[in-house]
Structure 1
Amino acid sequence: MTPQSYFEQAKRALHLPVETKLQSAYQFGVDATELAQLVLTGTKTATTSAYDLYETNEPLPQVGAYDVILDGQQNPVCVTKTDHVTIQPYLAVNAQHAFNEGEGDRSLSSWRRAHTTFFRQEYQTEGHQFNPQTAQMVLEQFHVVYPAK
């Protein structure tokens, strides 16, 4: 099933207006299937992306928007609704956000280790160097709306 057809199914089940749009369909991090399962179970309710790597006209996530979360094989797992979006320095990410990301032992130190490694690779892939002192991050909070629990 394509992400769009999955979203159409979710719209019908949730009785959303026909004009409701899908913001995006995406995978998380290095183990997309495991992270998608954390979202599905409600353990992962936040994510972080590098603001510095957004294209000039690329839209930021929007509060109230819907996304389809994909597993490692690009299969839809669930639909989320964005609750909160902020941009802040990498070093300002706090323990609550790290906990809400639901990964590892859910501590800030674990989050920093994993995300420093991840963002170094992401920045390098884009031809940039990751600097924790200056990097700006997009922090999102969301919840699963489909399938309903």
Structure 2
Amino acid sequence: MDYQQLFEGLKELLGLAPEAKLQAAYQYGVQADKLARLVVKKIKTATTSAYDLYGEDEPLPQVGAYDLILDSRDWPVALIQVDQVQIVPYLEVDEDHAFREGEGDRTLAYWRRVHDAFFKEDYALAGKVFDPQTAKMVLEKFHLVAVI
């Protein structure tokens, strides 16, 4: 599927600014369908990625940019716009961010439990070791623009 072409059509349909840019089209891994539904329901309004795992040529998310959220089959289900991007130490992720991620019981304790496991695996796949004491995270807050 040509995500850029889809975005161009959505820009026209939704009356978005001509200079609006599609930043990325992505899914939330093994929980793609579940987390995409949370975005559609406006429960999930934040996400976290590991700053340490961005490549040298890989740009960080940009405020104002648009992303397509995909389901497990890589079909677009939602268009979001990034409202805020912060880089913080892993241990400084707070309860508000955990709540906005919308997963489980939405507590920081739940967030840490699932993200500890997730980042251990993610770092290992990149040949690195996840250390909560030193890891930096990219925190994004976003809002739902359209359900596709």
Q: Distance between the aligned counterparts of 1:78 and 1:53, measured in 2?
A: 25
- TM-score, structure 2 length as denominator? 0.95
Per the alignment, residue 134 of structure 2 pairs with 134
Per the alignment, residue 91 of structure 1 pairs with 91
Per the alignment, residue 73 of structure 1 pairs with 73
Q: Distance between the aligned counterparts of 1:23 and 1:119, measured in 2?
A: 23
Partner SS for 2:80? strand
Q: Distance between the aligned counterparts of 1:97 and 1:130, measured in 2?
A: 20
Partner SS for 1:72? coil
Partner SS for 2:57? coil
Per the alignment, residue 121 of structure 1 pairs with 121
Q: Distance between the aligned counterparts of 1:120 and 1:30, measured in 2?
A: 15
Partner SS for 1:31? helix
Matched to 2:99, the amino acid is: F
Q: Distance between the aligned counterparts of 2:5 and 2:144, measured in 1?
A: 17
Superposition deviation, residue 14 in structure 1: 1.6
Partner SS for 1:99? helix
Matched to 2:118, the amino acid is: F
Is the Cα–Cα contact under 8 Å of residues 90 and 137 in structure 1 kept in the other structure? Answer: yes
Per the alignment, residue 52 of structure 2 pairs with 52
Is the Cα–Cα contact under 8 Å of residues 29 and 72 in structure 2 kept in the other structure? Answer: no
| Structure 1 unaligned regions, length at least 5 | none
Q: Distance between the aligned counterparts of 1:82 and 1:117, measured in 2?
A: 26
Matched to 2:12, the amino acid is: R
**Are 1:112 and 2:112 an aligned pair?**
yes
Deviations 1:2-30 (A, max 9, x none): 42233122211221233422100011142
Partner SS for 2:6? helix
**Are 1:15 and 2:15 an aligned pair?**
yes
Runs of 4+ that moved beyond 3 A: none
Matched residue count: 148
Is the Cα–Cα contact under 8 Å of residues 47 and 101 in structure 1 kept in the other structure? Answer: yes
